[in-house]
Each structure stands twice: as structure tokens, then as C-alpha cells.
Amino acid sequence: MADYKIVLLKGDGIGPEIVNQAVKVLDKASEKFNFTVEYDEALLGGCAIDATGVPLPDETVAKCKAADSVLLGAVGGPKWDNQPGNNRPEAGLLGIRGALGLFANLRPAVIFEPLKKASPIKDEIIGGSLDIMIVRELTGGIYFGKRGRTEVDGQPAAWDTEQYSVPEVERIARVAFDLAMKRNKKLTSVDKANVLESSRLWRETVTRISKEYPEVELNYMYVDNCAMQLVRNPGQFDVIVTSNIFGDILSDEASMISGSIGMLASASLSESKSGLYEPIHGSAPDIAGLGIANPLATILSVAMMLRYSLDQPKAADAIEAAVTKVLENNRTPDIYEEGTNKVTCEQMGDLVCEAL
């Protein structure tokens, strides 16, 4: 029996191309670090609609639940844009997150040294390097709260509710503190406690959990200030923990600091060891099938999988180092710079394997 069972959800558009490269790299890492991986594939998104009529077949949920981790490419595309909302590819994405209880979303915003010029932030503001980890609560808050339509003074009106319970905040806080312990022992909790009652409970709870982590330096920041500080002085952050909606916005902002959507990985974690790993970008229908997609976000998602779900931190470090090395001279078109070799999706996968 293999050490790890991984389910591949290749999905739509560039999904299959980029996942295939990431699998090559995982295989190479398994040889080098002496572990074995067994793969299974399942359908999610548009390809699942075509084959079964629904974006998230029961079989996919069952396979993912039984796996040590899931690697997802991306879903969606114009072909399915006229499906009704609850039968769109993206509904499959929300469905699998819910089914696996993925309450913690980890999004690194990293600048790879060879790509420093691609960042819209000036060198002198970035300073030496940039490596921020945003921990976003993923299954609570206003995106899941009660909502509705009403009437105010005879005019149509609508409302949404932001609610967090103490256990919900405790578990996301623990994920963030545990991460901070593995990194630079610095955590920023982001809220709007000057206005929102849910944010005041969030802050009280994070403060209480911090007593379990005396080594971690904790500070608080209002979300509007955080949005500003991310572009004014991003180097001040290490780990950021925040609610679903604030994390949605801040992680997109932070991802742009690093310059390219094709470079950014993510992890979604549950109470179990298993997680779902995926690039932050979509299915890029405009370049699907051309063989020019950047596979590095998916390859770096495999590195996160090795670190957070499979307890192979050395293999994770080695993949990240290999990516940095390959980037010195080789680029897919989305990150191309004069003086480097322009390579295809597949060549990029091969180069990372060689560097490993």
C-alpha cells in the first residue's frame, strides 16, 4: 500500500495541463524523499456536468473523503456559463469545500526573488523579500449568515448577517497560531472591532487563545488599515488571520503584490489532517489547450500539501527551492522577461523535476 492516497480533481480549461505537471513533480519528490503516492481521479466542475449532469457527483465526495489529500486544478468556462446557478461548475467548488469541512483557507503572498520586478510595489517598499500567509475563515461569517429582502419606508431593502460563534473563532485562531509557531512567531488578527459586535467577540476569543501561545507576538489591526498597510509596508506582516469576507478581499489584494496569478498556491484545511490544495487562479479558458499555462501555482500547491497534510516538510522546502532556481532563467509567457528562456507548461514541469 502506498504511503499517501491523493485524489486529483483536474477540472476544466488549463486544469488537466497544470495538474499533470504537478503530479510529475510530486512523483519526483517521492523518489527523492522515499515515500510512495497513489493517485485516483474524480470529476468536479464542467467536466462532471458533461459526464454526469451535476458539478459534484457523490462519487467525487466519497473519494475525496477517503483520501490523504486532494489536488484541484480549476473549474469553469464559457461552455457552462448558461447553466442555472446551483448547477454551475463553481457550485461544485463550494460543495466540495462544504462536504470536506474546509474551514481554514491559507493563501501565501510570496515574492520569488527572480520575479521581484513583476510586483507593482516598488523594491524599496518590499525591502529584502516578502512572505505573508493569510489565514481566512472559510465556512462562517456573512457569506453563510441569514439574509433576505424586506421593505423600509415603503422601499425595497435587503440584509445580510455576520455571525461568528466562539468555537468557530477558536479553531481558526488555533490554525493561525500553529502556523505562526512554524514561521516567524508573529500574528496579526484583522477585524473591525471599532464597529462590529462580531469583531469584538472575534478579538476577545483570539486574545484568549493567545495565552496558549505565549511565544507568538500577537497584534490587532482594523481591516481598513490592513488594506492600506499591505501596500504601504507589506514587510511588517507574517501571518494574518481574519474572517471570511475580510479574508476574501485582503487575500486578493495581497496576491497582486506578488505580481502574477500563475504563481500563487492555496490550501484549505479541515479538522482532519487531510486538505484540499489548489492554485488561486481559474481555468483560464483563453489559453486552455495551448500548452502555455504556468504550472507553478499548482506545483507550489503540492509543496503546501507536503508541508501541511503529509508531514514531508523537507520535500516541500525542496520543491520551493527548485521553483526559485528554475525561475532564474526560465519563464512561461505570463511571467516572461527579456533575457530568459520562454518555456511551455510541460517544459516548466520538467525543469522543476530536474532542479529537484
Q: Which residue numbers are catalytic?
A: 143, 192, 224, 248, 252
C-alpha to C-alpha distance for 341 and 166, rounded to whole angstroms: 52
Q: Which of 352, 268, 263, 333 is nearest to 23 (CA)?
A: 352
Q: How far is the CB of 11 from ligand NAI (least distance, A)?
A: 6
Rule CB under 6 A: is residue 90 a binding residue for ligand NAI?
yes
C-alpha to C-alpha distance for 33 and 279, rounded to whole angstroms: 24
From the list Mg ion, ligand NAI, none, which binds 76 (C-beta under 5 to 8 Å, kind-based)? ligand NAI
Rule CB under 6 A: is residue 76 a binding residue for ligand NAI?
yes
Rule CB under 6 A: is residue 91 a binding residue for ligand NAI?
no
C-alpha to C-alpha distance for 37 and 308, rounded to whole angstroms: 16
From the list Mg ion, ligand NAI, none, which binds 74 (C-beta under 5 to 8 Å, kind-based)? ligand NAI
Interface residue with ligand NAI among 19, 22, 261, 265 (CB under 6 A) is 261
Q: How far is the CB of 229 from Mg ion (least distance, A)?
A: 20
Q: Is 77 helix (H, G, I), strand (E, B) or coil?
A: coil
Rule CB under 5 A: is residue 334 a binding residue for Mg ion?
no
- For residue 315, the one-letter residue type is A
The C-alpha angle with vertex 248 and arms to 245 and 249, in degrees rounded to 5, equals 95
Q: Which of 263, 265, 230 is nearest to 246 (CA)?
A: 230
Q: Is 190 helix (H, G, I), strand (E, B) or coil?
A: strand
Interface residue with ligand NAI among 63, 281, 307, 331 (CB under 6 A) is 281
Q: How far is the CB of 271 from Mg ion (least distance, A)?
A: 24
Rule CB under 5 A: is residue 137 a binding residue for Mg ion?
no
Region of 349 on the Ramachandran plot (φ > 0 left; ψ -120 to 50 alpha; else beta):
alpha
Interface residue with ligand NAI among 6, 9, 67, 75 (CB under 6 A) is 75
From the list ligand NAI, Mg ion, none, which binds 248 (C-beta under 5 to 8 Å, kind-based)? Mg ion
User: Any known ligand binding at 120?
Assistant: no
Closer CB to ligand NAI, 30 or 76, in the complex: 76
**Block residue for cell numbers 485562531:** 173
Residue count of the chain: 356
> Looking at residue 69, what DSSP letter applies?
E
Q: Which residues are annotated as a binding site for NAD(+)?
A: 77-90, 282-294
Instruction: Give residues in contact with ligand NAI (CB under 6 A).
Output: 14, 18, 74-77, 90, 93, 261-262, 278, 281-287, 293-294, 297, 334
Instruction: Give residues in contact with Mg ion (CB under 5 A).
Output: 248, 252
